[in-house]
Structure 1
Amino acid sequence: IIGSPNEFTGDLAESFRFTDGGKKLVVTLRRGLKFSNGDPLDANAVKFTYDRLFDQGATTAALTKMAKVMGKDSVRVVDDRTVEFAVADPNPLLLGNMSQYGHSILNPNVVRPHMTAADPSAHEWLKSNTKGTETGPYLLESWQPGVEFVFARNPNFWGRPPRISRVVLRIVPDPSTRLALLKSGDVDIARDLAPLDEVGLLKDQGVSVNRFPTRIVSFLGMNAKVPPFNNVKLRQAISYAAPYDTIVRSVMVGFARRLTSPVPSGMPTHTDEFFKYKTDPAKAKALLAEAGFPNGLSLTFTSRADLAESKGIAIWVKSALARAGINVTINEMQGAAFTAALQKHDLVFFHHPGWNSINNDPFYHVFWLLQSACCDYTNYSNPEIDDLIRRFTISTDLSARADASRRIQQIAVDEAAWVFLYQPDLVLATRKNIGGVVYYPADVRFRYYFMTKE
């Protein structure tokens, strides 16, 4: 079963509605809600949670402000079951921005005693303590960092108890080991296997392979602030040299589809009408000459050493670009080092394995990847795109917003902001006796709550 990333339903909320022309969001909680320790979960707990978020001033507060709920004074307790959010400007982002992990409601009776001068938001304490704060179908029974998480049924969950009473989530870094454990029946579920192994499992009578499309974007990044990638012609040349179909066919073994825009397929306003790139070494050579490199050039390409697909992509990129006169040296980095360099914008020419925007909104998406200081990892910038993002991110003129999104896609494709590679499928391999696989495309997660084991 696949959920919808564009429809919102209540969990702790019995209902929610916009009033006053979209300037207020009124949320009514379910009756009798409790935290996992039995404490009541009421409107005061919601208010406490948002006060803490705004005091902390971290990412969740920024996302809430992005959707124009501007601070603690914008959150008001109406009665024990009702909370009102004041929205400075009506906008289409709020529900999507609120449907993210950081908005989990916390138990003030548990958290407040740990809000100290040294840890005013109890952030450090919460990194390793959850008891009494859980609200979902499971609670965290035990946790060994780097080894396993053990989840047990939450006796105070408001809904139907989960069918599986206990879930052990083991951390197994090596995909080949995960594969062996699944095939032997030592584990029931495995994910993030190598694509070739996933294909092999299709023939295994004891295993089911569940395959779902995603909105994850995977691309080759080119740091537009670092020569020669500040040259549009050079970026276009690489875009014509890239081995798109080979990567989808040979590296992803068909468990992916072509990415044809910065706004992925499955996201509102996506269009592939502007995409023009295909593997064409002659075209790439001509553009290299226009870029000032008639005799080719040498580049270093960085890939993830711990990801089979990233390693494979590096090999095919090196081979394909050589046919266009570009000599590529491969630099492999382990995951932690790669991520640290990515976040510092230190990578120059690299494979980005994937970004998923939890809010399935094109302007939320392009804001982070084409403009924000944190996540525009390629340092790409275009003044018209910047202006369109500024003007339309919170606009309620949906027609004009769609036109602006199409224009952003046109510019980013034309200027080769990235080398647009693919949208990977999400694959979950399970033993045949596991049922109830439900996939949420918004956060690219599965829910143990619905699963069954015969």
Structure 2
Amino acid sequence: MMMAIRVLALTGPSRTVLGEGCGSRQTQNNGRRERGLLDDLSSRYRLIFLGHAQSPRFQIQSVRPRPQALERKTPAKAPSRALRVFSPIRGPSPADSSHAICGHGTSFAQLWVTSPTLPSIETPARSNHPRVARPRRSRYNETRSIAIHLTLERATMSRLTPFAAALVIVLHATSISAQTPRDVLVVGMEAEPPGLDPGQALGIHTLRVTAEIFETLVATAPDSTDTVPGLAESWTTSADGLAWTFKLRKGVRFHDGTALDANAVKFTFDRIIDPSHPHAKSGKWTFVTGYLSSVKAVEVLDPQTVQLQLKYPTGSLLALLALPNCAIVSPTAFAKSPADFDAKPVGSGRYKVESWERGSRLVLRRNDDYWGSKGKPQTLVYRGLAEANARVAELLTGGVDLILPIPPDFVARLEKTSGVTVHKAPGLTVWYVGFNVEKKPFTDRRVRQAFSHAVNREAITRDILKGTGIPAIGPLLPGTWAFEPNVRKYPYDAAAARKLLAEAGYPNGLETDLWVPESGSGMQAPVEMATVIQANLAAVGVKAQLKTFEWGSYLGKVRAEAPALFALSWFLKSEDPDLSMYPLFYSKNQPLPNRSNYNNSEVDQLLVQARQTGDRARRVELYRRAQRVIVEDAPMVFVDHEVQVVATRAGVKGFRLHPSGFDLRVENVTKE
């Protein structure tokens, strides 16, 4: 089936049809190729096609009822960046290798992209065309931005071509040359932070930003997951392991000019751990409640010395304190306006907030009064670009300098693109499908085990992730110091899955919803991965209805509504298993971050024992035993461990991926 295409350029109220017709077609008999619209446009402009019909199948998304006059249909609010219309759905190609657009009966879709270098268009708008808002100019995107409206209609031809099935088309007259200023680094990521208080942060995309604004008592080394001094230049531990005393650096000040001292550390931690603290209810504290769960009290010994008194010895304490959720905040700024602190945070880091245009960009300015080595870029700009195709298009057109995550389909292509550098390294992430074990049918372990057998991890990592994932057998990455290889295995086995379902009382299968975000921190290709999982489950009689959500609202909805089946991932900043196994599987960490509501007394005992000893060999033994029990119980389907991928423009120098996959360290980056 061929698609008819109309390409419209819009500049403010002006609206011009650049062309309309069909993409080039190829006949089945002799392979003859007839010239089409996009071929014609290719002769006049340079076209960049991201995605094509050689990817197995496509599905239209974000569709609207077909209007009578498509040229008069304009969205109420024209996005200034790309909006995905359809995305590749991986899986076996049709037997005849044709690639149909499957719109569930819908006959058109719309796509908006931008190009900073499209030739000037002077044609005035027709009087019956609604006005389209001109994209806002900024010093961080000096070139003129023009929206391209691409309308696709069903036609009668039998095959798609790579042109007609393009996911994103960026038109421009010259080679890619748009640049952001040399002292400005622009980062395009999957979503903008919902807020910037580290104690309330949920997503890794938020923590990657707060790590530039705030600092922690101890930090993670730049080239390993080892713990090194941070705000604390030294520390000591009592013989019984119940008292940790930290000596703070002198002369450190928050961005508001107030001193970062022992009182600031006490204030930051007490608002989390002390129910009687005046600001205990001033925020929706997240993972940090678990990270600080072993801290009984915080004592100020003198202005530069603070002591953490623990409920029990905690071998992972330093690794926990290095997490960005545990960053120290300005007591003065927070107490002045707790409700505003999430939007106007005050820390002591290398960068401070200059401005924040919600839905557009967050701008950080270098803190020239920073106590240590200052950041190299004068300005960091973070842009939330939910659509993967939009992130790639912005990188190629110079709208951003660095993007993450990268759609797996585009990794190989970007590696071959001049002017782009692709960085890859294994991370410590685990991607999983979680069960709410308190909701039927997932109260029955056999059902959960059946789902684990039904999911084809190898196919997902091979065909969807294109090698940017490692099949998982449990919560920990193979090769890390506590990884247990001898857990129960769940190879892809539809017959075994059907047998377990029948034993659990579901011989004819069952129905459920599967919640999944459209993008997100560590979520790789969530909709595509979930679509394969949906097909895997259908093969064993399970009808899983996908419910997709925008990433910015997804975590809050999962927290509030506790769905029965949901896709998520978990990042570790350290190989220490306490940073993942304790938050995810300890029963008292319900409902966050133990979203599965998993409760096993044996696992609780093993996890507490492991975190209370400093003996590495003993901890390894305990964590390995816990992994065997957890994987047998199957509170989640462990799918894969992400291979982190970041792309930069070739002029970006000094960027290095951190071994954890957690940090995004851009403070030492320069641009040529």
Mark yes or no: TM-score above 0.5: yes
How many angstroms apart in 2 are the aligned matches of 1:368 and 1:64? 8
Report the equivalent of 2:251.
Answer: 32
Flag the structure with more relative contact order, 1 or 2, with Cα contacts below 8 A and sequence separation at least 6.
Answer: 1
How many angstroms apart in 1 are the aligned matches of 2:556 and 2:382? 26
How many angstroms apart in 2 are the aligned matches of 1:195 and 1:396? 40
Map Cα deviations across residues 385-404 of structure 1 (whole Å, 9 max, x no partner).
23323444323454443222
Tell me by how many angstroms 1:277 deviates: 1.4
Tell me by how many angstroms 1:60 deviates: 7.3
Report the equivalent of 2:299.
Answer: 75
TM-score (norm: length of structure 1): 0.86
What amino acid does structure 1 have at the position aligned with 2:594?
Answer: D
Tell me by how many angstroms 1:267 deviates: 4.8
Q: Greater shift after overlay, 209-218 or 13-22?
A: 13-22
How many angstroms apart in 1 are the aligned matches of 2:266 and 2:434? 41
- Show the 5 A alignment for 1:428-447: 428-441=646-659, 444-447=662-665
Report the equivalent of 1:285.
Answer: 498
What amino acid does structure 1 have at the position aligned with 2:669?
Answer: M
Tell me by how many angstroms 1:106 deviates: 3.5
Partner of residue 41 from structure 1, selected from 245, 260, 266: 260
1:127 aligns with 2:127: no
- Shift of the 179–360 alpha-carbon distance from structure 1 to 2, 3 Å rule, reads same
What amino acid does structure 2 have at the position aligned with 1:355?
Answer: W
Partner of residue 590 from structure 2, selected from 373, 380, 405: 373
Map Cα deviations across residues 233-259 of structure 1 (whole Å, 9 max, x no partner).
222222212111111111111111111
Kept in 1, the 8 Å contact 2:386–2:519? The answer is no
Query: SS of the residue aligned with 2:594?
Result: coil
Partner of residue 415 from structure 1, selected from 625, 629, 633: 633
Report the equivalent of 2:289.
Answer: 62
Report the equivalent of 1:214.
Answer: 427
Tell me by how many angstroms 1:373 deviates: 0.9
Map Cα deviations across residues 140-177 of structure 1 (whole Å, 9 max, x no partner).
22222222121222111112222222222222232212
Report the equivalent of 1:310.
Answer: 526
Tell me by how many angstroms 1:429 deviates: 0.8
- Shift of the 290–147 alpha-carbon distance from structure 1 to 2, 3 Å rule, reads same
Report the equivalent of 1:383.
Answer: 601
Report the equivalent of 2:223.
Answer: 3
What amino acid does structure 1 have at the position aligned with 2:528?
Answer: G
1:224 aligns with 2:437: yes
Tell me by how many angstroms 1:207 deviates: 0.6
- Shift of the 266–204 alpha-carbon distance from structure 1 to 2, 3 Å rule, reads same
How many angstroms apart in 1 are the aligned matches of 2:289 and 2:544? 40
Kept in 1, the 8 Å contact 2:644–2:661? The answer is no
Query: SS of the residue aligned with 1:155?
Result: coil
> Which ranges of structure 2 fall in alignment gaps of 5 or more residues?
1-220
Map Cα deviations across residues 302-323 of structure 1 (whole Å, 9 max, x no partner).
3334577222123212322333
Query: SS of the residue aligned with 1:163?
Result: coil
CA-based RMSD of the aligned residues comes to 2.8
Q: Greater shift after overlay, 32-41 or 280-289?
A: 32-41
Q: Greater shift after overlay, 156-165 or 95-104?
A: 95-104
- Show the 5 A alignment for 1:218-367: 218-265=431-478, 267-306=480-519, 309-336=525-552, 338-344=554-560, 346-352=562-568, 354-358=569-573, 360-367=575-582
Tell me by how many angstroms 1:28 deviates: 2.1
Kept in 1, the 8 Å contact 2:290–2:583? The answer is no
- Show the 5 A alignment for 1:40-189: 40-53=259-272, 54=274, 55=277, 56-57=279-280, 58-59=285-286, 62-63=289-290, 65-67=292-294, 69-71=295-297, 74-78=298-302, 80-108=303-331, 110-112=333-335, 114=336, 122-130=337-345, 133-189=346-402
How many angstroms apart in 2 are the aligned matches of 1:111 and 1:309? 37
- Shift of the 139–302 alpha-carbon distance from structure 1 to 2, 3 Å rule, reads closer
What amino acid does structure 2 have at the position aligned with 1:373?
Answer: Q
How many angstroms apart in 2 are the aligned matches of 1:252 and 1:34? 44
Map Cα deviations across residues 105-148 of structure 1 (whole Å, 9 max, x no partner).
34455555x1xxxxxxx421322323xx4322112222222221
How many angstroms apart in 1 are the aligned matches of 2:600 and 2:625? 12
Tell me by how many angstroms 1:66 deviates: 1.9
Report the equivalent of 2:131.
Answer: none
Report the equivalent of 1:117.
Answer: none
Kept in 2, the 8 Å contact 1:345–1:377? The answer is no
What amino acid does structure 1 have at the position aligned with 2:577?
Answer: P
- Shift of the 214–414 alpha-carbon distance from structure 1 to 2, 3 Å rule, reads same
- Shift of the 417–160 alpha-carbon distance from structure 1 to 2, 3 Å rule, reads same
> Which ranges of structure 1 fall in alignment gaps of 5 or more residues?
115-121
- Shift of the 44–351 alpha-carbon distance from structure 1 to 2, 3 Å rule, reads closer
Kept in 1, the 8 Å contact 2:301–2:307? The answer is yes
- Shift of the 330–400 alpha-carbon distance from structure 1 to 2, 3 Å rule, reads same
Q: Greater shift after overlay, 410-419 or 398-407?
A: 398-407
How many angstroms apart in 1 are the aligned matches of 2:261 and 2:637? 48
- Shift of the 314–400 alpha-carbon distance from structure 1 to 2, 3 Å rule, reads same
Tell me by how many angstroms 1:182 deviates: 0.3
How many angstroms apart in 2 are the aligned matches of 1:38 and 1:333? 41
What amino acid does structure 1 have at the position aligned with 2:647?
Answer: A
TM-score (norm: length of structure 2): 0.60
